Amino acid sequence: MIPPRFAANLDWLYAEQAYLDRAGAARADGFMAVELQQPHLHDVDALTAGLAGLRVVLMNAPAGDWTAGERGFAALAGCEARFRDTTLRGLDLAARLGSPRLHLLSGLAQDTPQARATWLANLAWAAEQAGTVMLTVEPINHRDMPGYFLHRQAQALALLAELGSPRVALQLDLYHCRVAEDGESLSHLVRALDLGLLGHVQVAGTAGRHEPGRDEYAAELALLDARGWPGAVGLEYRPRQDTSAGLAWLSSGAH
């Protein structure tokens, strides 16, 4: 049985299946929740039907032309119109799919005063449009995504504190955190919890971004339990083999 706190990211897991069949595969394995990275690329009615009985806990807003290297627009001066368009499209789809969280990507930009001001202004506007949806922002390490604006935990927490919006929170991918923060993630999780800024958590094995080791995130998951944090933990990794066969790491009891 999959512990209910875990959500299958359908853009990473079950890649051996056609996209619209992945929800059924996750349901068959015992998942109760899923994440969606690029749901806007698929027929919404077919996607909704396939998701029946599953909670969507997080989805991404459109991030532009991924194949052309676009990775969102929040920090990109001159791209405010595109940021607003993709945010509104994301919010509309989140409402249709019942997702309570929407990830807004920051884009490829140097961390300059202009980029920070653009990011703050864009996120302030987005927060006003969000309604009951929680917006999330995620630091992504520069090894996997060179040039991404938001890439360190302290940078993200400082910007969120300056923004000061209850509708925007941190999406803490413990894999990205360990890669960017010298292999350490527990203290960063503690900090986000202490500040009340933690909106979502994701995991992947630090080596190769495959399945985590059985106890790789035991301390972090135990902390979430001890704090009574109610959110989901997304599984955003590249399975070494058939997805279902690779789920054995969840039997560890460290969750």
What are the residue numbers of the active site? 138, 236
In the DSSP assignment, the letter for residue 253 is S
Give the angle subtended at the CA of 232 by the CAs of 229 and 236, to the nearest 5°.
135
Cα distance between residue 239 and residue 255, in whole Å: 19
Where is 120: in which H helix or E strand?
helix 113-129
Cα distance between residue 14 and residue 10, in whole Å: 7
In the DSSP assignment, the letter for residue 239 is -
Q: Which residues contact 131 (CB under 8 A, 6 or more apart)?
A: 91
First to last CA, the chain: 12
